[in-house]
Amino acid sequence: MPIVNRIADLQGEITAWRHDLHAHPELLYDVHRTAQTVADKLKAFGCDEVATGIGRTGVVGVIRGRRNGSGKVIGLRADMDALPIEEANDLPYKSTVPGKMHACGHDGHTAMLLGAARYLAETRNFDGTAVVIFQPAEEGGAGGKAMVKDGLMERFNIGEVYGMHNYPGLPVGEFALRHGPIMAAADHFTIDIEGVGGHAARPHLAVDPVLIGAQIINQLQSVVSRSVDPLESAVVSICVFQAGHADNVIPQKVRLGGTGRSLTAKVRELLERRIAEVAEGTARAHGGSARVNYRLGYPVLVNHATQADFAGKVASEIAGKERVNTDMVPVMGAEDFSFMLNVRPGAFIFIGNGDSAGLHHPSYNFNDEAIPFGTSYWVKLVESALAA
């Protein structure tokens, strides 16, 4: 079952929607223009219901099939927000907003789901209900969690939910997914170190928190290499080191900031415990102190086996079995679609974006050639799950 002919015909129009979204990026929950654009299109398509303000600025469209004997309802989710990055591309539809760009392809995700919504509202060749979900604040704002807390699943009686994300480096027209953990939990921590400040020329009269910070960074590398089972996956990265304001003053305080990534609850708990133990113990050994604030972020994104098998089968019908990897290596990045999969069975799949710049890079751009594959996937997912 190849690309849907009607979707191929709509590619130019869907691409134009994507370019408009790309030129007008919005961050986190402040996706007012984007949400309004989505809502207006869903109404124009003839959706049976269009709801706004779910999870603050999320939009939901309801499309009922020609039959509803099954009573089955599935949700399809796309994210809408951009990133606080200055775009480096020279495109006719380049971001018009300084310091903001669609560097993760959410413009493409939104456009593809809009294309699917248009087709499904035109044809309604299924038995049940398709719910299209447009989510804000994926990029660190936990918009998925906000929509779930706002009663998304219960209000629309969603029984299963599916998500999709583009993947730079994976050829256009290919898909990838796996059972079980597919994306990592993303936690964040700060380490506040206190020593004794003093003159840089008399370090023996001070307790240097910069030195303590450097030692903590080194020692934290042992958490993954010596505390985590070698057959498990984990990441500990220190990305912030804030210290001092003058080159002849040993500061009193230093702050480190970083992230811990894991694919299981057991490893997640271990990282939280060991990061605190190592930081506090290292600081004490050097005569200072350290206080760790470990904040749990997005949970592990876990694909449900039955739904992952089904998603892989649908993708194979679109792209060909040889172009769908059903046992991909997990990704240590995070996704707040995990909150939706924690409350409903479903699956998350990656779609190839070709040889593009990486996600969150100022030269990234969603590949418009992926549009007919992703949109056809959504359509056939609904028509197969809700076969009339």
Identify the band that residue 148 occupies on the pLDDT scale cut at 50, 70 and 90. Answer: very high
Domains and CATH numbers, the chain: 5-181+301-385 (3.40.630.10), 185-298 (3.30.70.360)
Asked if 197 and 212 count as a contact pair (C-beta separation under 8 A), the reply is no
Strands 58-64 and 49-54: antiparallel
Q: Which two tokens stand for residue 146?
A: 């906000």
- CA 387, 161, 152, 113 torsion-angle sign: negative
- CA 16, 22, 25, 31 torsion-angle sign: positive
Task: Determine the average pLDDT of the residues in 208-218.
Answer: 98
Give pTM, 2 decimals: 0.95
Is residue 64 scored above 60 in pLDDT? yes
The average confidence (pLDDT) of the chain is 97
pLDDT (0 to 100) of residue 5: 85
Task: Determine the average pLDDT of the residues in 265-293.
Answer: 98
Strands 234-243 and 324-325: unpaired
Task: Determine the average pLDDT of the residues in 351-376.
Answer: 98
Q: Which two tokens stand for residue 254?
A: 């230093």
- What residues are labeled active site? 81, 138
β strands within 244-345, DSSP E: 249-250, 253-262, 289-298, 301-303, 324-325
Please name which of 4, 50, 77, 110 lies closest in space to residue 383, comparing C-alpha atoms.
4
Identify the band that residue 70 occupies on the pLDDT scale cut at 50, 70 and 90. Answer: confident
Residues 202 and 208: their CA atoms lie apart, in Å, by: 11
pLDDT (0 to 100) of residue 6: 87
Residues 376 and 319: their CA atoms lie apart, in Å, by: 10
**pLDDT one-digit tens code per residue, 229-268:** 999 999 999 999 999 999 999 999 999 999 999 999 999 9
Strands 175-176 and 324-325: parallel
Task: Determine the average pLDDT of the residues in 293-305.
Answer: 98
Give me the amino acid identity at 186.
A
**pLDDT one-digit tens code per residue, 322-338:** 999 999 999 999 999 99
Residues 198 and 206: their CA atoms lie apart, in Å, by: 5
Residues 164 and 88: their CA atoms lie apart, in Å, by: 25
Beta bridge partners of 101: 83
Asked if 182 and 303 count as a contact pair (C-beta separation under 8 A), the reply is yes
Asked if 177 and 312 count as a contact pair (C-beta separation under 8 A), the reply is yes
Task: Determine the average pLDDT of the residues in 184-196.
Answer: 98
Is residue 84 scored above 60 in pLDDT? yes
Beta bridge partners of 27: 82
Please name which of 282, 276, 249 lies closest in space to residue 260, comparing C-alpha atoms.
276
**pLDDT one-digit tens code per residue, 96-146:** 999 999 999 999 999 999 999 999 999 999 999 999 999 999 999 999 999
Task: Give the end-to-end CA distance of the chain in Å, rounded to a whole number.
Answer: 17
pLDDT (0 to 100) of residue 388: 66
Residues 375 and 3: their CA atoms lie apart, in Å, by: 9
Q: Which two tokens stand for residue 119?
A: 């087709």
Q: Who contacts 153 (Cβ-Cβ below 8 Å, separation ≥6)?
A: 75, 161, 340, 343, 344
Please name which of 172, 213, 177, 174 lies closest in space to residue 367, comparing C-alpha atoms.
172
pLDDT (0 to 100) of residue 68: 83
Identify the band that residue 69 occupies on the pLDDT scale cut at 50, 70 and 90. Answer: confident
The phi-psi region of residue 87 (left if phi > 0; otherwise alpha if psi is between -120 and 50; otherwise beta) is: beta
Q: Which two tokens stand for residue 106?
A: 């959410």
Task: Determine the average pLDDT of the residues in 371-381.
Answer: 97
**pLDDT one-digit tens code per residue, 98-111:** 999 999 999 999 99
Asked if 380 and 318 count as a contact pair (C-beta separation under 8 A), the reply is yes
Identify the band that residue 369 occupies on the pLDDT scale cut at 50, 70 and 90. Answer: very high
